[in-house]
A and B are shown apart, each in its own frame.
Chain A
């Protein structure tokens, strides 16, 4: 479990730990199970209730849509423009819906392709993707192929088992999830292949694996395995890279990949990522600038029969770089912004609208969210609430460079929900762009955003020194001059104390001029020696 409190208090940490152990200090209080539908985690990793960012517009079941037969364990969801494609896996077909004024209505059903060399009808399709040219790609899992057709479903080509030394040729190819890029290259997740995403060129040749997760390497593990017997080794889990569960190609051509197959400890230790954003080279470029990790729920305690971390089954990303992950464990949706900071979390398991039984896929039209539930055989259509519109508006306005408007919208968000952390940072960022550094610093400090605070402070400091240049130089001069003058004053004091004027010999001694000079010489010599001795004593200290 997470322990918050003093986040960066390291000094005398051992001492504190000893004291804490001895006095049996209660650790961080148990997180209160959230009460509202939507929530966020604040800086201290506490659950903060939040107004709804998304409202349920409608839930569509098979009968609501007027389908001829009930959907049977649908597993894939894809959106192209205004069309929603549902892979009705159990019925071996793909249901096409269209978004109209009145909501989603069925527009087409894809059951078979034309002119394929093998089987024409689909068998357990799990995913579909459509290119800008209108070519349709279907992961035809039951027929062990990815099939490519034109917009009229005329067969063009198919993609089969990749020929690679790492895959034995008698492996059966089960393509599960596919995405395509603008050049019609195909990226595929296939069951049992954990080398990463299978990448095919547009001409169908296999060109390698992309974005394999690193197998976690641990020297302790290594040492342990050195001394383990064969039987122990067999029982041990192999260090295999985690398989991805789902992928989404965003508008920039980067692939969001999520996985729900990991050991909870690995997630806690940070050795696996629940969601990644892969570039062309397969490197993870997801920005994680928040202290709150990007893996859904922070508290994994058993509640309502569900325990363990969030297991993401799908991910989708908007054009404003907010990406939404779908947790199949607790039926929740987690939204994160381009910096990896949590925007919202909502949902749950249940039978009411806006709750799920086993959500498997998510996609979006504009800023609307569509979630497919495989057990309920339904799709839930979410639309932004007014609160959500303000948040998205503020983010969009900021990206457009309209910082005044962005700040105003964040203010509006803040007036609705004073616990919404991103609003403070958002206002701060818009103030920063308006070069109102002092005010920006105040907002960043409230929510402990040290990166942005430092940016604002750096500018503020520069400005301050420029306006107070004279004072700064003066202070520096004084700091240098004061010790020097002190030394001078001391010297002068010595000079005065030892000067001839105050040390005339007694006039009654009747000394000659020569004798007086001699006397003064002696006096000065003695004073010098006294000073020397004093200085030496000072140097010794004691």
Chain B
């Protein structure tokens, strides 16, 4: 392997290049900035988009961590808090149970706010939402370990902290949307509610769509069967 050189033309070089480009100083800086965002939501989320302190790479990392922790929780949280019926667990469905509502929210929020002077772009809404999820992995990782050293008398301690991480995320999402779209408090809350309605509408349309498609497929399939039968 004497002739092996690593340059931008071979796969190793390309990977290394991608790594270097993705996990650069800007990436680490933007990832660290998420910690500033969760403690200073208003200030932080303003800078996130207006000062371009956030990156897609960091947002993706946070989302990935959130999903990862949510899956690890199933296995490593004490059975006092979570009992899992492994036989019926579909991991893809489980991942979808986070990604799908997230996608619905991002699109729904952008679609409604963009009609009413919302300053945020779709990507910015996505980054802001992902940055709001930081408290979840941040609190759930230690909680996962704590759950294994408490008895059910001390379960309240876990439950309260666990609920707190969710509430914190919720507050951050509201704050983030307000700052990204440059909305006032009342308008922001109103558009959060609109976003939820938009999500419901989208779910409805999707259900309709899938049901129509499956009916259509069933029609052509039965046609095919009939045809083959008569041949």
Contacts and interface: CB of A to CB of B under 8 A. Distances in A.
Interface of A: 4-9, 11-12, 14-16, 18-25, 28-29, 43-44, 445, 448, 450-451, 453-455, 457-458, 461, 541-542
B98 A15 contact: yes
Given A22-B203, A542-B33, 14 more contacts: A8-B81, A12-B166, A15-B97, A15-B100, A18-B199, A22-B206, A29-B88, A44-B85, A448-B83, A450-B152, A455-B151, A458-B151, A458-B153, A461-B149
* B contact face: mostly helix, strand, loop, or mixed: helix
A450 B85 contact: no
Interface string B197-221: 0010001001100100000000000
B79 interface: yes
Interface string B71-107: 0000000011111110010100100111011001000
B152 A22 contact: no
B88 A28 contact: yes
Contacts of A25: 90, 93
Contacts of A453: 79-80, 152
Nearest to A25: B93
A298 B162 CA distance: 32
Contact of B153 (A12, A43, A454, A542): A454
26 contacts: A6-B84, A8-B83, A9-B82, A9-B84, A11-B166, A15-B101, A16-B97, A18-B104, A18-B203, A19-B96, A19-B100, A20-B93, A21-B203, A22-B100, A22-B203, A22-B207, A23-B96, A24-B207, A25-B90, A448-B79, A450-B152, A454-B80, A454-B151, A455-B151, A457-B151, A461-B149
B64 interface: no
A458 B149 CA distance: 9
B23 to A, nearest CB: 20
A540 to B, nearest CB: 10
Interface in B175-231: 199, 203, 206-207, 210
Most buried by A among B80, B90, B93, B206: B80
Contacts of B157: none
B36 interface: yes
Contacts of A7: 83
A8 B79 CA distance: 10
Interface of B: 33, 36, 70, 79-85, 88, 90, 93, 96-98, 100-101, 104, 149, 151-153, 162, 166, 199, 203, 206-207, 210
A67 to B, nearest CB: 53
A17 to B, nearest CB: 9
- A-B pairs, top 3 by smallest CB distance, nearest first, are A454-B151, A15-B101, A19-B97
A445 B79 contact: yes
Most buried by A among B36, B83, B98, B210: B83
A29 B88 CA distance: 9
B171 to A, nearest CB: 15
A451 B79 CA distance: 11
A454 B206 CA distance: 45
Most buried by B among A19, A28, A461: A19
B79 A6 contact: no
Most buried by A among B81, B84, B90, B152: B152
Contacts of B162: 11
Nearest to A458: B151
Contacts of A5: 85, 88
Nearest to A43: B83
A459 to B, nearest CB: 10
Nearest to B84: A6
B207 A8 contact: no
B73 to A, nearest CB: 8
A57 B123 CA distance: 75
Contacts of A6: 82-85
Contacts of A24: 207, 210
Contacts of B97: 12, 15-16, 19-20
Contacts of A28: 88
Contacts of B84: 6, 9
